[in-house]
Amino acid sequence: MTIEGDPVSLADMLESHRSGELTPDQTIARTYKRIRAYGDPAVFITLRDEQEARAEAAALDANAGNLPLCGVPIAIKDNIDVAGMPTTAGCPAFAYQPKQDSAVVARLRAAGAIVIGKTNLDQFATGLVGTRSPYGVPRNPLRGDLIPGGSSSGSATAVAAGLVPVSLGTDTAGSGRVPAMFNNIVGLKPSLGLVSIAGIVPACRTLDCISIFSLTVDDAWSVLRVIAGFDLEDAFSRDIGFSPPEASFGNARLGILAEKDREFFADNDAAAAYESALQRARDLGARLVEFDYAPFAETARLLYEGPWIAERWSVIKELASRDPDAIHPITRMVVEPGESYSAVETFRALYRLAELRVRTRPIWNEIDALLLPTAPRTYTIAEAAADNVRLNSRLGTYTNFVNLLDLCGVAVPSELTADRRPLGVTFLAPCGCDGYATALARSFQAASYLPLGAGKAPMLAPRSFGDRAELQTEGMINIALFGAHMRGLPLNRDVVRLGGKFLRTVKTAPRYRCFLLQGAIPRPGVLRVEKGGAAIEAELWAMSADSFGRFVASIPSPLGFGTIFLADGTQVSGFLVEAIATANARDITHFGGWRSFLAENAAA
């Protein structure tokens, strides 16, 4: 396996098309080159002919600036219909040739995306391990001995390996989120009915939804904007209005697991990663609220211990009766009990689900979103082979209840362990709050500074959402202040005199050191560093362009102005110190900010 360069995000790929650096045809040619270099035949069940795909891309060249996904290669889970390619649902005996694109693929093509293939999956989308397929187990690109996660195994690994920047999966019990964690990528699970499921092989038709895998939250949102919308051809489609992702952590109330509810199945790294994620959320300004997880856990158990398993059985019943050996033995073992559920049992389960929905409803008066582990831990292929059903069940601990309770969510990477095991968290919110969950996930990912997928370089500040204004007060320039110019301190009067407007307290990205500079008025000097950086507290103020110019002119050496990267991924102007001035200065980074330093010295 030899692939040159880190995975390329959707935003960067589109920029290369719009700038003329690459044509869509060249991008598709590079895509096939990467697929050949990666050399894993288990990723795709069907790979489209390269020349055909390149011809379609070449025809788009003239419209490169007009289509939202122009020339972007995309992979489609093989339970979603694509005209010209068989749909197998991971079962050769079930395969058929669709006469037309599914609704979601039709929207992608209209936006300029180039479908390059159909990806592997746990057969009939039943499984979270990614190993229940007669087409092989897609290699996890971060660590070859780890399972890829399922059921959308091929779609997730294709993005993590950099074969495509985005792909489609489906999600019923977590198939759009668990593989995202195992591959260190983003998995966006929309509200039920927001994206049409017309033209997909159902798992549980009442709970199924299309999901999006991508390298960044921004990229997933860009695709959601293209594929979302009511569809008369889908009986489960809903006309859901969803707002753009504009929320911030500053006023977010996040529901978190109490200690007694945190189950990581003896994985200490996973437990520590969740603690770190909670601390990151606190640093971003969120208020963390423990909630009653019991009704969520009971709802999760209903999915495979209740009559919804009969929905899965209804899909394969005819094939199972005619040719039982055509079905993967574990899939058959899991789904076959669905045949025995009675109407009485079904209604009792529906009544219980209604009761659980009522019981969880008041929780949303106390919180805005949930922040949960995406999955409790990682497993190797060998572990899954030895105990497939039980370990698969464990992976759904924090995902199985989501669609039953009509929630939306975004799974994001949170940590890579020293031995390169990816771990992640998911932001969950009520139906229709897709933009809110996405905004939280975006800020969290920006503050994580992890590589994209299986890449090596850390993610830097993300691009803005296409429909989101820059973090900027109207007609003003935003400035990060670190020292004596902050509120209540000696030089704040200068800022106020220039018409400065206080916005809020913020933290930088963890890329800075802070030093004590001596003078008539002691002050901090903030220095951007390549390694060993930390987050530093600052105040965000806004000034007119004219006032900003005068303010900059009044600042003496060794301080100056440069770009400050904030923890939420945005960039503002702010004070930076010349490196030479810090040579003999006291390092006060560990205080986390100037106010904490002053308070400590006052106490001393």
Range with lowest mean pLDDT among 245-254, 283-292, 461-470, 514-523: 461-470
The residues spanned by each domain of the chain are 10-448, 476-603
Name the strand (E) or helix (H) holding 407: strand 407-416
Strand partners for 82: 85
> Are 537 and 592 spatial neighbours (Cβ–Cβ below 8 Å)?
yes
Mean pLDDT for the stretch of residues 293-313 = 93
Give the model's confidence band at 471: pLDDT under 50 very low, under 70 low, under 90 confident, else very high.
very low
Candidates 126, 130, 196; CA nearest to 160 is 130
Name the strand (E) or helix (H) holding 140: none
C-alpha to C-alpha distances, 131 to 23, 46, 87, 220, 248, nearest whole angstrom: 37, 18, 19, 25, 38
Ramachandran angles phi, psi of 491, nearest 5°? -100, 5
Mean pLDDT for the stretch of residues 543-559 = 81
Q: What gap in Å lies between CA 344 and CA 349, rounded to an integer?
A: 9
Q: State how beta strands 186-189 and 586-587 pair.
A: unpaired
Mean pLDDT for the stretch of residues 121-147 = 97
Strand partners for 359: none
In sequence order, which residues have a C-beta less than 8 Å from that of residue 471 and are 6 or more positions away? 478, 568, 570, 572
> How many residues are given for the chain?
604
Mean pLDDT for the stretch of residues 209-234 = 95
> Are 37 and 2 spatial neighbours (Cβ–Cβ below 8 Å)?
yes
Q: Which residue has the higher pLDDT, 382 or 492?
A: 382
Q: Find the farthest-apart pair of alpha carbons in the chain and give their distance in angstroms, rounded.
A: 89
Mean pLDDT score across all residues of the chain: 91
Q: Omega into 138 within 30° of 0, i.e. cis?
A: no
The pLDDT of residue 249: 81
Range with lowest mean pLDDT among 54-63, 322-331, 508-517: 54-63
Four-way CATH pick for 10-448: 3.30.200.20, 3.40.50.720, 3.90.1300.10, 3.30.70.1140: 3.90.1300.10
Q: How far apart are the first and last CA of the chain?
A: 59
Q: In the predicted model, is pLDDT for residue 163 greater than 60?
A: yes
Provide the b/e sequence for 383-421 (b: ≥16 CB within 10 Å).
Answer: ebeeebeebbbbbbbbbbbbbbbebbbbbbbbbbeeeeb
pLDDT tens string 390-443: 999 999 999 999 999 999 999 999 999 989 999 999 999 999 999 999 999 999
Catalytic residues: 77, 151, 175
Q: In the predicted model, is pLDDT for residue 63 greater than 60?
A: no
The pLDDT of residue 475: 56
The pLDDT of residue 522: 83
pLDDT tens string 527-542: 998 888 899 999 988 8
> Are 410 and 370 spatial neighbours (Cβ–Cβ below 8 Å)?
no
In words, the CATH class of domain 476-603 is: alpha beta
Mean pLDDT for the stretch of residues 207-232 = 95
Range with lowest mean pLDDT among 340-344, 462-466, 568-572: 462-466
CA dihedral 432, 435, 441, 447 (to 10 degrees): -160
Q: In the predicted model, is pLDDT for residue 496 greater than 80?
A: yes
3-state secondary structure of 431: coil
pLDDT tens string 355-367: 999 999 999 999 9
Give the model's confidence band at 266: pLDDT under 50 very low, under 70 low, under 90 confident, else very high.
very high
> Are 378 and 419 spatial neighbours (Cβ–Cβ below 8 Å)?
no
Range with lowest mean pLDDT among 3-12, 216-225, 373-382: 3-12
> Are 555 and 498 spatial neighbours (Cβ–Cβ below 8 Å)?
no
Q: In the predicted model, is pLDDT for residue 64 greater than 60?
A: no
Candidates 187, 186, 198; CA nearest to 229 is 198
Candidates 379, 391, 389; CA nearest to 143 is 379
For the chain, give the percent of residues with pLDDT over 70: 95
C-alpha to C-alpha distances, 245 to 248, 301, 426, 437, 466, nearest whole angstrom: 9, 32, 16, 8, 10
Q: In the predicted model, is pLDDT for residue 557 greater than 90?
A: no
Mean pLDDT for the stretch of residues 194-209 = 96
> Are 403 and 209 spatial neighbours (Cβ–Cβ below 8 Å)?
yes
The pLDDT of residue 464: 47
